[in-house]
Amino acid sequence: MPSLTEWKVPSAFQPHAGDYAFDLDRALSSVVGLHSIIPPDAFSAETLGTERAGNGVLIDDGLVLTIGYLITEAEAVWLHLGDGRVVEGHALGFDSETGFGLVQALGRPGIAPLPLGSSAATKVGDRVVVGGAGGRTRSVASHIVAKQEFAGYWEYLLDEAFFTYPAHPNWGGTAMISTRGELIGIGSLQLERVREGKAEHVNMIVPIDLLKPILDDLRKFGRVNKPARPWLGMYTTEIDNRVVVVGVAARGPAARGELKAGDVILGVGGDKITSQVQFYRKLWSLGPAGVDVPLTVHHEGVTFDVTLSSTDRAKLLKAPQLH
């Protein structure tokens, strides 16, 4: 893992302690570096890699919240603290619906947890700190530029996500901290938007309020204790009001059904769809994982119907193991 001292946020974008009513350095000390090792034969290794690095946030005694893709199928997790210490961690589990992941530190971090705030209480224009491991020089003084629906190509949908600017360059698992010094979101992505004719990068942040109903389940079971959503193993994008397949996951239902990149999904269960949001909501309304999913597909000038037998994506993943 690269040393925390190898890079810094440009000084113009760093937060300054005097600009906040809370103890900025204390809050940022709760953000840790995270390094995970994934077996080469893991389902997610091909798309996400066998070494992943980012950030996590201590939210309870030894409990670190991060973004789930950093620890999916991890066989080893290491937490890098601001004072240079490294503590081994155990990947407790993650939730594919929200994207959150949990790690249990196997040693005593010796730092204070960051209290959870209310993401619902925030509004566009609010100042926030997007905190990375390593303190102020690796954090960004940012603000919320949008709160809106977000659909991801990997069968993922948030009814409301945060978007912040300026963007943090090492966004995965960063802590979005409110002006009250509370954790109100976890960094997931960096995206590009066009504003006033210029392209600029923003971070997509998962709101912390989505964690509160599922936290106990994630602690106890490693996943949310309810029926899983149906999953097709299909990567899509939205082009000119059409849902276009850009890839399929190996061993997933879409691959078994011989769907291919370039196919257009015209309908689900006989209902026309024109957006990813429509696609996901219709798919998930059919029932839990395992339900048959009737699709209408357009492929190279030919329109046809195909039924895929959905699955629970977790069944393809290696479960966390405590060594």
User: What per-residue confidence (pLDDT) applies to 3?
Assistant: 45
Q: pLDDT tens across 130-165, in order?
A: 999 999 999 999 999 999 999 999 999 999 999 999
- Two domains, one topology: 10-226 and 234-316: no
Q: Work out the pLDDT band at 2, boundaries 50, 70, 90.
A: very low
For residue 24, the surrounding DSSP H or E stretch is helix 24-28
Query: Which contacts (CB < 8 Å, 24+ apart) does range 5-9 have?
Result: 5/134, 7/138, 7/169, 7/170, 8/137, 8/138, 9/132, 9/137, 9/138, 9/139, 9/140, 9/168, 9/169
Tell me the CB-side half-sphere exposure of residue 213, using CA atoms within 13 A: 7
Averaged over 98-113, what is the pLDDT?
95
Is residue 262 pLDDT above 90, yes or no?
yes
Is it the case that residue 179 has pLDDT exceeding 70?
yes
Longest dimension (CA), the chain: 63
Return the domain boundaries, the chain: 10-226, 234-316
Express each pLDDT in 40-90 by its tens digit.
999 999 999 999 999 999 999 999 999 999 999 999 999 999 889 999 999
- HEC readout, 178-200: CCCCCEEEEEEEEEEEEECCEEE
- φ/ψ of residue 277, rounded to 5: -60, -45
Quick one: what percent of the chain has pLDDT higher than 90?
92
Quick one: 173 exposed, middle or buried, by C-beta within 10 A (0-12, 13-18, 19+)?
A: buried
Position 321 scores a pLDDT of 65
Q: What is the spatial distance between Cα 230 and Cα 296, in angstroms, rounded to a whole number? A: 17
pTM of the predicted model, to two decimals? 0.95
Q: Which CATH architecture has domain 10-226?
A: Beta Barrel (2.40)
Beta bridge partners, 89, equal 77, 105
- Identify the pLDDT of residue 322: 60
pLDDT digits (tens, 9 = 90+) for 268-285: 999 999 999 999 999 999
Mean pLDDT of 122-129: 98
* 234-316 is classed CATH 2.30.42.10: yes
What is the predicted pLDDT for the residue at 195? 84
